[in-house]
Amino acid sequence: MTDNIIKVGMADVNFTKHPGVLVTLGLGSCVGIALYDKKMKMIGLAHIMLPWSHQAKNNANRAKFADTGIMLLLEKMSEAGASVNNMVAKLAGGAQMFTFSGSSDMIRIGQRNVEATKAVLQQLNIPVISEDTGGNYGRTIEFFSEDGRLMIKTIGHGIKYI
Amino acid sequence: MDLSALNSFHLDVLKEIGNIGAGNAATALAKLLNKKVDMKVPQIRIMGFSEVNEVLGGAETPVVGILLSVLGDISGYILFVLEQSAANTLVNILMSKKPDEELEYNEITLSALKEVGNILTGSYLSALSALTGLNIKPDVPALAIDMAGAILSVPAIEFGKTTDTVLYIETEFIEGKDRVIGDFFLVPDTESYIRLLDSLGAMS
């Protein structure tokens, strides 16, 4: 089984077919966007750090942002035979790891990442069928191509499947 | 100038900055613990974001992270990461309890941990300030106890707005033979590490 596990790092996208598993370790404010094409049994995962590419000075790395990251992942999955019409999405992450009393604009970055992700998916007509977002804790996620289930592991907040 | 333009001389100067800052902080930590605390040679890590989660002995390792914004002539973050058992010992000592007593996280113990962060980062930055002649001050600390990867991603996201790599000046604290108890990261933004190098005459 371990041969089928593909790690997706920060600002990275990847996809695989059955029986592959996609894994992202230690998601904080970043959002893990999990796309599943049921017919093809194909899964894709984008690990985005920031909401909108046009708000950043440097947007060369498309995988870094919610908007361009989703498009990049879709392009790769479509090339491999997946269809947007068969896709559903699951989301995890978008936490606020630190609570600042100051006026740092790092506040709410997790929430803004989730909002941007949902807006982009809605435009693309990809339904978000489940999510585990927000809070103040990190998440490790494992995405299974077998049935599209997404396992979420935390420290002190249990394990769940969505 | 971006990170790839740094030569080995620049990197050595940045290492020395880590050495002096962390040396001062290690002394403060040794005083708090009443134990000898050693440190490793600082490392300058220039990483792509996909590698960030892998430092600190794995992305899922539970750690105590104390994060402060750096204010004044330079800006960026300073992140002090403590192994959980070391955090436990520190708090018990500060609360005048037995060092190995089990730690319950509550408002008082959490604020004690923040205070440790304050003292150590304060000594790191004041050494840095004295060395460079720059005005460098820490902001109020914030604390999180969670997966190392999730904690390290916070300063990385700030970098993400402008670059595709992140520069960490990392110094590990060691107790006894080889037990890593804490890890200090200075994460200056792009303009700030140039300013740091410039203040030491390393840019000419």
ipTM of this predicted complex?
0.86
Exposure string for B116-136, b = 16+ CB within 10 A, e = fewer: bbbbbbbbbbbbbbebbebeb
A100 contacts B150? CB cut-off 8 A? no
CB-count burial class (<10 Å; 0-12, 13-18, 19+) for A115: middle
Query: What residues pair up with A45 in beta bridges, in sequence order?
Result: A14, A34
Instruction: Name the average pLDDT for chain A.
Output: 91
Residue B145: closest C-alpha in chain A? A137
Q: Which two tokens stand for residue B28?
A: 């403060």
C-beta separation of B7 from B140 below 8 A: no
Q: Rounded distance, CA B99 to CA B132, Å? A: 37
Cβ contacts (< 8 Å) between B49 and chain A: which residues? 9-12, 49, 64
Region A82-98 average pLDDT: 94
Q: What is the pLDDT of residues A5-42, one digit of tens each?
A: 999 988 999 999 989 999 999 999 999 999 999 999 99
- Listed in sequence order, the residues at least 6 apart from B32 whose beta carbon sits closer than 8 Å to its beta carbon are B90, B93, B94, B116, B119
Q: What pLDDT score was predicted for residue A1?
A: 47
Q: What pLDDT score was predicted for residue B1?
A: 52
- Listed in sequence order, the residues at least 6 apart from B88 whose beta carbon sits closer than 8 Å to its beta carbon are B100, B102, B103
* Nearest-neighbour CA in chain B from A156: distance (Å): 9
Task: Return per-residue pLDDT of chain B as tens, 204 residues.
Answer: 566 677 888 888 888 888 888 888 888 888 877 778 888 877 777 777 777 766 666 788 888 998 888 889 988 888 888 888 778 877 887 777 776 777 778 888 888 888 888 888 888 888 888 888 999 888 888 899 999 889 988 888 887 877 777 777 778 777 776 666 778 888 888 788 888 888 888 776
